[in-house]
Amino acid sequence: AVEGGFVVSGPAVLAEQLPDSHPSKAEAIKFVQQYEKAYGPGSRNQFAGHAYDSIIVMEKAVPIALKKAKPGTPEFRAARRDALEQIKEVPGAHGIFTMSPDDHLGLDNRARVMVKIENGTCTMEVDIESGRANPIPLDPYRFSLAIKDAEGKQVYFSGNNGGVKITDAENS
């Protein structure tokens, strides 16, 4: 039912297929090796990668917060939030984290790859950050991607906050 389908995923799912220049490749490979050693080959998944990344981010923020307050206090929670909001260019398995008071997700274009389902396996179809298929800048809540379908016709994927719309060039 999904054969030939496309999905946007985090880089960790296809760690080995990332170009060597991808800024998350090293951390994604590390995640896959550790996770599959613990849970078996082929067990990696996007959600485990996000959990892995949360540890990386907290390892950066908590030591800073500990210098300002005691764990379990409102002051510590505020100090941890402030520390998280100062994170800049921290590599994770799913992307590079740069947070701010207005952006607690912290991921940009480097956190997405276009995956195609072929013969029951996932292959990286498009490295979104590279611009090979998409010159349109993305943000954490909206994206737009132009690719060619099997017949060579331009197809546009766009989405925001969980909804995805697919249109062709004539109906965009």
Q: How far apart (Å, rounded) are the C-alpha atoms in residues 104 and 98?
A: 9
Q: How far apart (Å, rounded) are the C-alpha atoms in residues 146 and 54?
A: 31
Residue-wise pLDDT for 40-50, tens only, equals 988 888 889 99
What amino acid is encoded at 141 in this protein? Answer: Y
| pLDDT over 80 (residue 3) | no
Residue-wise pLDDT for 130-163, tens only, equals 443 333 333 444 444 445 555 666 554 444 444 4
Residue-wise pLDDT for 4-51, tens only, equals 777 778 888 888 888 888 899 999 999 999 999 999 988 888 889 999
Work out the widest C-alpha separation in the chain, in whole angstroms. 61
Q: Residue 98 in contact with residue 111, Cβ under 8 Å?
A: no
Helices (H), 40-144: 46-66, 74-84
Confidence (pTM): 0.69
pLDDT for 143: 44
pLDDT for 150: 56
With cut-offs at 50, 70 and 90, classify the pLDDT of residue 119: confident
Percent of the chain scoring above 90 in pLDDT: 41
Q: Residue 110 in contact with residue 24, Cβ under 8 Å?
A: yes
Q: Residue 160 in contact with residue 139, Cβ under 8 Å?
A: no
124, 44, 120, 94: CA torsion to nearest 10: -20
| CA atoms within 13 A of residue 141's CA, in its CB half-sphere | 5
Q: Residue 64 in contact with residue 79, Cβ under 8 Å?
A: yes
Residue-wise pLDDT for 87-108, tens only, equals 999 999 999 999 999 988 888 8
Q: How far apart (Å, rounded) are the C-alpha atoms in residues 123 and 14?
A: 7
| CA atoms within 13 A of residue 132's CA, in its CB half-sphere | 9
| CA atoms within 13 A of residue 83's CA, in its CB half-sphere | 19
User: Residue 100 forms beta bridges with which residues?
Assistant: 103
